[in-house]
Amino acid sequence: MKIVTKITRIFLGIFLLFFGLNGFFHFLPQPEMSAEAGTFLEALASSGYIFPIVGLLEVVVGLLLIVNKFTALALVVIFPILINAFLFHVFLDIPGIGGALIALSLNLFLLIGYKENYKEIFRTDSL
């Protein structure tokens, strides 16, 4: 199981690094999407900060996963971004859900694989 977790971690890291860099260098073409999805993305882009922050987090988390440093933390940091990408596609762009579904699935698999690292935050006893 350790080898599967390692391969999954590195693959998710490369995936996040690739798409995070795309957020800055735009080397992938923008896919067609519904008017509602386009309007939503335009609103986010007009804020001026959401996409650079998301891209930066994807790059940093991708690198952390590849080099296996702060892995448990990196998986928690990227989870809200991946769940939002998945939900965006569920509600506004179902044809484009593939990448978000893969990334979220890999993240969930790794979160389960690193569950021992999260025991302390779910402890219910008081100080």
Q: What is the chain's mean pLDDT, rounded?
A: 95
Residue numbers of the domain that contains 12:
2-27+45-116
List pLDDT tens digits, range 52-62: 999 999 999 99
How confident is residue 121, by pLDDT bands cut at 50, 70 and 90? Answer: confident
Counting other chains too, the contacts that 94-97 makes at CB distance below 8 Å and 24 or more residues apart are 95/33, 96/31, 96/33
Domain for residue 40, yes or no? no
Averaged pLDDT, 109-120: 95
Instruction: Indicate the number of domains in the chain.
Output: 1
Domain for residue 10, yes or no? yes
Domain for residue 39, yes or no? no
How much of the chain, in percent, has pLDDT values that exceed 70?
Answer: 98
Averaged pLDDT, 1-29: 96
- What pLDDT does 127 receive? 62
Domain for residue 73, yes or no? yes
